[in-house]
Structure 1
Amino acid sequence: MRKWLKDIRLAKGLSQLDVSKAAQITFQYYSYIENGERRPSPQVAKRIAVALSFPDTWYRLLEDSNQEEECEKHA
């Protein structure tokens, strides 16, 4: 699960539907991405990042969940 992605979305008061519409992807696809079940293409990752106002770190969406967990352990 990409908890950090969900945390950013919730902090901005947005629903998954809001983000999916802004990123021009389906709600289902965004849900899969947020839950760590799918990995977006770089283009989709950039659109999600813009929708959530973190365009400088869009590449985080391309990282595997295991890598994220390891990074959090060392942070």
Structure 2
Amino acid sequence: MDSHVIGQTLIKLRGNRTQEEVAKAIGISKSALSMYERGERIPRDNIKIRISAYYKKPIHKIFFNQKTHET
């Protein structure tokens, strides 16, 4: 898992929604979401599940780099 790639993916998924809006919907702090988006932290598994459900995307599409699995 590359935290910076994950961060860019999360930013892309968030689109024009605010960090506050998304964080509240997921049940995390705005600062936690900000750290995930900046690639400073990777969410724990239970948070990954909530993020995946919120964006309606499979966990592996958000958090796992496909190139890593091909090598």
**Residue 52 of structure 1: how far off its partner (Å):** 1.9
Give the number of equivalent residue pairs: 63
5+ residue gaps, structure 2, are none
5+ residue gaps, structure 1, are none
TM-score normalised per structure 2: 0.71
**Residue 28 of structure 1: how far off its partner (Å):** 0.3
* 1:45 corresponds to: 48
1:21 aligns with 2:21: no
* Percent of aligned pairs sharing the same letter: 25
Corresponding letter in the other structure for 2:13? I
Q: Runs of 4 or more off by more than 6 Å in structure 1?
A: none
Which of these residues, 16, 35, 38, is aligned with residue 35 of structure 1?
A: 38
Q: Which has the higher contact order (CA 8 A, sep 6+)?
A: 2
Give the aligned CA root-mean-square deviation in angstroms: 2.3
TM-score normalised per structure 1: 0.68
